[in-house]
Amino acid sequence: MKSTLARHAAAFLTMTALAAGPLRAQTVVISEVRADAGGRWVELHNRGSAAVNLASWSLHYASRTPGTPQNYWWPFPTGTVLQPNGYLRVHWYQTASSAVATGELWTGTSPYGFLFGLGGETLLGTRGALALFSTQQNANMNTAAYVADWVSWGENGYTREGLAVQQGLWTAGRHLGALPAGSSHARDPGMVGAVAFPDLAWFLDNSPTPGLPNVTGAVVQSYGQACVLPGNHLLGMPSLTAPSLPLVGNSGFTLTVQNTTGIFAEFVLLGFSAGAAPPGAPSILPLYSGVPCQEAIDTQQLLATWVLPTQILGTNVPMSMANVPPAAVGLELHVQALVLQLLPNSFPPYQGISNALRLVVGQ
């Protein structure tokens, strides 16, 4: 009988299998967005080591609601300072029902509280865009240099998206998915500036965390040694990486096997285990030309294996966690890749084996 861990791991792997421009440095970023009956707010995060005075900054919301201005700016009030590693939540187009807590701001619903006489509009989860501007002056609202951050969901192509693209803060034609009730779009701070497309730094968070870090408990840890056999046609050592973190709701979570060729009937076999190989465990791989390629994962605790055709230069293995339940938080998996050539009479018997990754699901 499988253990509880094994059952959860198998369910996790099943769900992920089914789903199967340069950035400038940013200090203050849009960190999290929620837009449903449980809360309509925008969270900012100061990633820097110095306080930032936001008294001359503004928050911009773009909508596609017919018969409305569709563009709104709200000015941060005098005295708004975001401390180092601090968070600030702005409740959009809402009035505070009681005393406002530290780190919480409310825009109100009066048109006089917004800039340029345009008023405001309810933040919707179906579609919209938010921008952070380092100005409150009308003359600057079409100048890219004043755009400090941008995010859009549900649709793209909003009026000032081009400004964010000029600043390297967004990629034209891309957007996050619509926001389901009870969830938020959250940003992995470690991915800001480290991904090919800015939207890939965001994930759907099934347990919103206003005022707290968006990433909790996720681990990607490499161990073991990559190995190739004489006569292989790989482009280098097969390196197994995870460009983002295994977070519940992260639809873009992917494993990548670097240095595959994508030809010659080449395939990659991914083995998922419950643990690392114990010291002294024998290898199940055949010894070829005296080269001892060794599995780093425990082959006696294998939970699943996937076989996929390789791609040129590197093979991406999508493992969307969009539908992984919160109960999977804390689940630990160990994965390693074996590159095979499945041609008749192919030799050597396999091309090489990658390093291993220890993955812990976070939230």
198 found inside a domain: no
Predicted local distance difference test score (pLDDT) of residue 23: 36
Helix (H, G, I), strand (E, B) or coil at 326: helix
Q: Is the dihedral of CA 234, 240, 241, 246 positive or negative?
A: positive
Do 185 and 36 lie in one domain? The reply is yes
Q: Single out the residue in 151, 174, 192 at which a domain terminates.
A: 192
pLDDT at residue 126 in the model? 97
Residues 6+ apart with CB under 8 A from 1: none
Q: Which residue has the higher pLDDT, 303 or 21?
A: 303
CA distance 172 to 217: 32
Whether residue 67 sits in one domain with residue 11: no
* 210 lies in some domain: no
Say yes or no: 235 and 168 in one domain.
no
What value does the mean pLDDT take over residues 326-336? 93
Are residues 181 and 49 both part of a single domain? yes
- Give pLDDT, residue 19: 45
In single-letter form, the type of residue at position 17 comes to A
Residues 141 and 287 in one domain: no
* Residues 70 and 12 reside in one and the same domain: no
Report how far residue 172's alpha carbon sits from residue 144's, in angstroms, rounded to the nearest whole number.
14
Query: How high does pLDDT run on average in the chain?
Result: 89
pLDDT number for residue 21: 34
Q: Say if residues 322 and 249 touch (Cβ distance below 8 Å).
A: yes
Angle at 173 between CA 170 and CA 179, to 5 degrees: 80
Residue percentage of the chain with pLDDT more than 70: 93
222 and 136 within one domain: no
> Same structural domain for residues 353 and 227?
yes
Contact 147, 122 (CB under 8 A): no
Q: Is it the case that residue 17 has pLDDT exceeding 60? A: no
- Residue length of the chain: 363
User: Which band of pLDDT confidence, cut at 50, 70 and 90, is reported for residue 37?
Assistant: very high
For residue 230, the domain's CATH number is 2.60.40.10
Structure tokens at 313: 């230069």
- The reply to whether 49 and 131 lie within a common domain is yes
CATH number at residue 155: 2.60.40.1260
| 120 assigned to some structural domain | yes
Q: Is 149 helix (H, G, I), strand (E, B) or coil?
A: strand
Q: What is the pLDDT of residues 51-98, one digit of tens each?
A: 999 999 999 999 999 999 999 999 999 999 999 999 999 999 999 987
Q: Do 13 and 28 lie in a common domain? A: no
- Give me the mean pLDDT over the 190-209 stretch: 85
The pair of structure tokens assigned to 216 is 């909790």
> Is the predicted pLDDT of residue 316 greater than 80, yes or no?
yes
Both 138 and 242 in one domain: the answer is no
Instruction: Name the pTM for this structure.
Output: 0.69
Residues 290 and 354 in one domain: yes
Amino acid (1-letter code) at residue 342: L
Number of domains in the chain: 2
Q: Taking residues 316-330, report their average pLDDT.
A: 89
How would residue 224 be classed by pLDDT, with cut points 50, 70 and 90? very high
pLDDT digits (tens, 9 = 90+) for 140-159: 999 999 999 999 999 999 99
Domain holding 294, by residue range, is 4-17+218-360
With contact defined as beta carbons under 8 Å apart, do 310 and 268 qualify?
yes
Q: What are the tens digits of pLDDT across the range 237-261?
A: 999 998 778 988 888 889 999 999 9
Q: How far, in Å, CA of 346 to CA of 324, rounded?
A: 39
Task: Report how far residue 47's alpha carbon sits from residue 65's, in angstroms, rounded to the nearest whole number.
Answer: 33
